[in-house]
């Protein structure tokens, strides 16, 4: 082969390479644009309309008028030992019209706000978590439902102190989920778990880890962006209040309270980050959890 013809081949290859780069660039920019337009249109109008409904305005007004007293009543109930009385005094701080109970009947179900509004991120945007499910006990109806409800786009990270039975492991595998068997946070902290999988953004967090919540949760919501939390808190009223106050410190508001009839010392709370309220069409009411005295 002459020197000239090899130069010519190199030039042609280079041109093809440049052509290839510009075509792939074009398509990836187009995808980002499509993603941005499809996820932002329609929502803002809906939220404004929602806030202007007469019944919603009334709800907010009442909430503001009673909030101070609600906080005092709750604080007083937290000093006593009647759990049921405490749960009934927790007043919802955000209004979600589209609450859905997801998961097993009885123990294991959680109230989620408007799960359809879960934003499905294309893989190439990489900031890609989605559901963290802590405390499984071979009950993964919740995880499966969320997976289906999001068009099987949801990445799931699950953990439990015990290794799960084979059918549970198979089901997780099918959902492309990642499963950890470790005691959280003693053997494995949530941030360690997140680092292992390289995910940094959490749409839904389900946490039911038998008092592990008192040490495990705060580092997670401090360092990662979480939208909704479904938590079962265990213990006396004062323990419940302390946990709710810690979560509230990071901008989460309660939109559902559900007593666990099988466990008198346990209660399920559903909370939403203020920064996610518009996305899930939620109206903030008044803050009813007394602030933590630093
Ligand atoms: C809370 O308890 C204090 C002291 O026991 C009492 O003075 C106060 O009236 C109670 N507040 C409410 C709103 O019940």
Mean pLDDT by 10 residues, the chain (294 residues): 72 79 56 41 65 92 96 97 97 94 79 81 53 90 87 85 93 91 82 72 87 86 90 96 96 95 93 93 95 77
Alpha helix stretches (DSSP H) within 160-206: 166-174, 190-197
Ligand 1 site residues, Cβ closer than 6 angstroms: 69, 72-73, 76
- Shortest-distance Cα residue to atom 7 of ligand 1: 76
Burial 22-33 (b: 16+ CB within 10 A, else e): eeeeeeeeeeee
Q: What Rg do the C-alpha atoms of the chain give, in angstroms?
A: 24
Q: Which atom, in ligand 1's list, is nearest to the CA of 69?
A: 13
- Shortest-distance Cα residue to atom 2 of ligand 1: 76
Query: Whole-angstrom Cα distance, residue 140 to residue 103?
Result: 7
- Shortest-distance Cα residue to atom 4 of ligand 1: 76
- Residue-level pLDDT at 26: 55
CA of 89 to the centre of ligand 1 (A): 14
Burial 166-175 (b: 16+ CB within 10 A, else e): eebbebbeeb
CA of 77 to the centre of ligand 1 (A): 9
Q: Please, which residues have CB within 8 angstroms of residue 256's CB and are 6 or more apart in sequence?
A: 92, 96, 99, 111, 113, 268, 269, 270
The helix/strand count (H/E) of the chain reads as 9, 11
- Residue-level pLDDT at 29: 47
Q: Which atom, in ligand 1's list, is nearest to the CA of 76?
A: 1
Q: Assign a CATH topology to domain 44-284.
A: Rossmann fold (3.40.50)
CA of 97 to the centre of ligand 1 (A): 33
Question: Dihedral of CA 278/279/282/288: which sign?
Answer: negative
Residue 20: count other Cβ atoms within 10 Å of its Cβ. 10
Per residue in 166-187, pLDDT (tens digit) is: 999 999 999 988 899 988 878 8
Q: What token pair was written down for 289?
A: 């959890």
- Residue-level pLDDT at 44: 54
CA of 76 to the centre of ligand 1 (A): 6
Q: What token pair was written down for 146?
A: 């969320």
- Residue-level pLDDT at 10: 82
CA of 107 to the centre of ligand 1 (A): 34
**8-state DSSP, 1:** -
Distances (CA, A) of 157 to 172, 204, 239: 9, 11, 27
Phi, psi (degrees; rounded to nearest 5) at 20: -60, -45
């Amino acid at each position: 082969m002459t020197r000239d013809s090899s130069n010519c081949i190199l030039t042609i290859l280079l041109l093809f390479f440049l052509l290839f780069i510009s075509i792939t660039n074009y398509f990836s920019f187009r995808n980002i644009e499509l993603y941005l337009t499809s996820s932002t249109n329609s929502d803002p109008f809906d939220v404004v309309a929602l806030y202007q409904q007469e019944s919603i305005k009334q709800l907010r007004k009442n909430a503001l008028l009673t909030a101070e007293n609600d906080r005092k009543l709750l604080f007083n109930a937290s000093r006593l030992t009647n759990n049921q009385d405490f749960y009934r005094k927790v007043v919802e701080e955000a209004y979600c019209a589209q609450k859905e109970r997801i998961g097993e009947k009885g123990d294991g179900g959680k109230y989620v706000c408007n799960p359809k509004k879960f934003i499905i991120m294309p893989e190439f945007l990489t900031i890609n978590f989605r559901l963290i499910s802590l405390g499984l006990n071979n009950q993964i109806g919740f995880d499966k439902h969320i997976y289906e409800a999001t068009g099987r786009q949801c990445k799931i990270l699950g953990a439990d102190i015990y290794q799960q039975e084979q059918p549970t492991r198979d089901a997780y595998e099918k959902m492309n989920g990642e499963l950890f068997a470790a005691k959280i946070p003693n053997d494995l902290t949530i941030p360690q778990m997140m680092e292992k999988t390289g995910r940094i953004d959490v749409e839904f967090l389900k946490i039911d880890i038998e008092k592990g919540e008192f040490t495990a949760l705060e580092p997670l919501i401090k360092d990662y962006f979480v939208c909704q939390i479904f938590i079962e808190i265990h213990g006396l009223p004062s323990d419940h209040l302390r946990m709710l106050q810690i979560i509230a410190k990071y901008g989460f508001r309660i939109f559902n309270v559900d007593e666990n009839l099988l466990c008198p010392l346990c209660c399920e709370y559903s909370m939403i980050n203020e920064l996610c309220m518009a996305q899930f069409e939620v109206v903030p009411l008044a803050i009813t959890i007394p602030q933590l005295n630093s």
